[in-house]
Amino acid sequence: MVGQERKMKVFACNGCPELAKEIAKILGVELGQIHVGKFSDGEVSVHIDESVRGADVFVIQSTSTPVNDNLMELLVTIDALKRASAGRINAVIPYFGYARQDRKAMAHDPITAKLVADLLQTAGADRVLTMDLHAAQIQGFFKIPVDHLLGLTVLNKAICDEDFVKGDDFVVISPDVGSVARARALASKLNAPLAIVDKRRPKANVMEVMNIIGDVEGKTCLMIDDMIDTAGTIVQGARALVEVGKAKHVYACCTHGVLSGPAIERLSNSVIEKLFVLNTIEIPEEKKFDKLHLISVAQIFADAIRNIYEEVSVSKLID
């Protein structure tokens, strides 16, 4: 097969170096020799220190904060690999920045997610591997294959062993209507009922809770979302579960821990007892707090990379 005729090489930029090391270790390969830095004027500097001619190359980079720096690192690295005659260039993007700008919310708005897709293809990416796009339809912005892994697979495996999910009083909560499908899928896996926090958002990052749909009184609740940014949605939803719905305990989980602005303070002071977050975004030590429980996605990404390299279906990892 073509993938087996090419040598696998795995490179990491500066977006998620620890996750990249973990993935490489599982794959049994050394990370490729590359220098990704900046010139004195702030421009991104990339130099590949080994031959990649004809290789099946995987570049691991989350385009999280600083979003523009990490995106440019990825684009310049892909361009460098293309000009160095790499056989196939696979962009492994655990967290896909700009994914929330997937449509025109208002007149004259850009669709930046489409622009990012165009940039990745123009730079020379042959394939994209990512997880939990904010809108799954973003896959359609690309003219190259996109493998879209689900964080739910990893979260379910980690959470199903927790004691709080094993009682008859356990309920899975969708923090808004947009997350119902994700919450329903988790509830099905955990054999639990589903409830929904009905909310109204008057403006960006501001949420007004209106109602709790479902019975949560005296129950242990687990809220699930694709990402937590400023934590306003998840924290206010958790408070509503306790104050309005009379829930007994509240836990939360998400794929992407963006955790910007007041997120850490809000979560630390919230009624949420434990927060499960996948490590698609590297969280610095100063942002880690007692309630935070990180879960690694290294295994599923390593499995997907191996399947892509060996030309084996990735869909079984998604299913």
- Catalytic residue numbers? 199
Burial of 106 (0-12, 13-18, 19+ CB in 10 A): exposed
Compute CA distances 56 → 11, 146, 310, whole Å: 11, 16, 10
Cα Rg, the chain, nearest whole Å: 20
Say how many Å lie between the first and final Cα of the chain, rounded. 24
Residue among 111, 112, 147 at smallest CA distance from 129: 147
Peptide bond into 202 cis (omega under 30): no
Task: Kindly state the tokens that stand for 74.
Answer: 């990825």
Cα–Cα dist 63/113, whole Å:
12
CA neighbours within 13 Å on the CB side: how many for 139?
A: 12
Strand-pairing partners, residue 34, are 48
Residue among 43, 47, 70, 67 at smallest CA distance from 258: 67
Cα–Cα dist 302/305, whole Å:
5
Burial track 76-89 (b if 16+ CB lie within 10 A, e otherwise): bbbbbbbeeebbbb
